[in-house]
Amino acid sequence: MPRPMSADLKAAFASGLIRMVVFVEVNFLSGPVRVWSGVGDITWNGHTWSGLGSLGAISVIEDSSAIIANGVSLTCSGIDSNLLPDVLHDFQV
Protein backbone atom coordinates (compact mmCIF):
# COMPACT_ATOMS: atom_id res chain seq x y z
CA MET A 1 0.00 0.00 0.00
CA PRO A 2 1.57 3.35 -1.03
CA ARG A 3 2.31 5.87 1.69
CA PRO A 4 1.52 9.57 1.26
CA MET A 5 4.52 11.81 0.50
CA SER A 6 4.92 15.51 1.08
CA ALA A 7 5.76 17.80 -1.83
CA ASP A 8 9.26 18.30 -0.35
CA LEU A 9 9.92 14.55 -0.27
CA LYS A 10 8.65 14.12 -3.83
CA ALA A 11 10.94 16.94 -4.98
CA ALA A 12 13.92 15.36 -3.20
CA PHE A 13 13.31 12.03 -4.95
CA ALA A 14 12.90 13.77 -8.31
CA SER A 15 16.18 15.67 -7.86
CA GLY A 16 18.19 12.44 -7.70
CA LEU A 17 20.19 13.87 -4.78
CA ILE A 18 18.57 11.86 -2.00
CA ARG A 19 20.41 9.06 -0.20
CA MET A 20 18.47 6.61 1.91
CA VAL A 21 19.98 5.42 5.20
CA VAL A 22 18.80 3.26 8.08
CA PHE A 23 19.10 4.27 11.74
CA VAL A 24 18.80 1.55 14.41
CA GLU A 25 18.65 2.05 18.17
CA VAL A 26 18.97 -1.06 20.33
CA ASN A 27 18.37 -0.72 24.07
CA PHE A 28 20.73 -2.71 26.25
CA LEU A 29 20.68 -2.81 30.05
CA SER A 30 23.82 -0.64 30.02
CA GLY A 31 22.17 1.90 27.71
CA PRO A 32 21.20 2.41 24.08
CA VAL A 33 23.46 1.61 21.13
CA ARG A 34 22.81 3.73 18.05
CA VAL A 35 24.09 2.70 14.63
CA TRP A 36 23.40 3.69 11.06
CA SER A 37 23.95 2.09 7.67
CA GLY A 38 26.78 4.37 6.53
CA VAL A 39 30.43 4.79 7.49
CA GLY A 40 31.73 6.93 10.36
CA ASP A 41 29.85 8.84 13.03
CA ILE A 42 26.89 11.07 12.20
CA THR A 43 24.77 13.31 14.40
CA TRP A 44 21.03 13.05 13.83
CA ASN A 45 18.04 13.81 16.04
CA GLY A 46 20.30 14.97 18.87
CA HIS A 47 22.31 11.74 19.07
CA THR A 48 25.58 10.45 17.64
CA TRP A 49 25.17 7.30 15.53
CA SER A 50 28.09 4.97 14.70
CA GLY A 51 28.36 3.76 11.13
CA LEU A 52 28.39 0.02 10.48
CA GLY A 53 28.88 0.25 6.72
CA SER A 54 29.07 -3.24 5.19
CA LEU A 55 29.34 -4.89 8.65
CA GLY A 56 25.61 -4.47 9.28
CA ALA A 57 22.58 -5.90 7.50
CA ILE A 58 18.82 -5.69 7.90
CA SER A 59 16.27 -8.14 6.55
CA VAL A 60 13.41 -7.15 4.30
CA ILE A 61 10.79 -5.17 6.21
CA GLU A 62 7.32 -6.23 5.21
CA ASP A 63 4.63 -3.59 4.86
CA SER A 64 1.01 -4.36 5.55
CA SER A 65 -2.26 -2.51 5.76
CA ALA A 66 -3.24 -4.74 8.69
CA ILE A 67 -2.26 -3.88 12.25
CA ILE A 68 0.27 -6.66 12.85
CA ALA A 69 3.85 -6.90 14.05
CA ASN A 70 6.08 -8.08 11.23
CA GLY A 71 9.48 -9.37 12.30
CA VAL A 72 12.81 -7.97 11.21
CA SER A 73 16.33 -9.37 11.61
CA LEU A 74 19.37 -7.21 12.31
CA THR A 75 22.81 -8.69 11.67
CA CYS A 76 26.18 -7.34 12.73
CA SER A 77 29.33 -9.11 11.59
CA GLY A 78 32.92 -8.63 12.66
CA ILE A 79 32.24 -8.67 16.42
CA ASP A 80 34.97 -10.15 18.59
CA SER A 81 33.60 -13.53 19.76
CA ASN A 82 35.00 -12.88 23.24
CA LEU A 83 32.47 -10.04 23.61
CA LEU A 84 29.45 -12.16 22.70
CA PRO A 85 28.64 -13.42 26.27
CA ASP A 86 28.69 -9.81 27.55
CA VAL A 87 26.40 -8.65 24.74
CA LEU A 88 23.92 -11.47 25.29
CA HIS A 89 23.87 -10.82 29.06
CA ASP A 90 23.28 -7.09 28.48
CA PHE A 91 20.40 -7.53 26.01
CA GLN A 92 16.89 -6.70 27.21
CA VAL A 93 13.68 -7.89 25.58
**Which residues span the domain enclosing 30?**
21-56+71-93
User: Do the domain assignments include residue 30?
Assistant: yes
Residue 15 in domain: no
Domain membership flag for residue 7? no
The larger pLDDT score, comparing residue 81 to residue 92, is at 81
Is the distance from CB of 51 to CB of 39 less than 8 angstroms? yes
Count of domains for the chain: 1
> Could you tell me the pLDDT band of residue 9, with boundaries at 50, 70 and 90?
confident
Helix boundaries (H) for 1-93: 7-15, 84-90
Task: Give the pLDDT score at 46.
Answer: 95
Q: Is residue 12 part of a domain?
A: no
Residue 32 lies in a domain: yes
Identify whether the C-beta of residue 42 lies closer than 8 Å to the C-beta of residue 35. Answer: no
| Inside any domain, residue 34 | yes
| pLDDT tens-digit map of 44-84 | 999 999 998 888 888 888 877 888 878 888 888 877 788 77
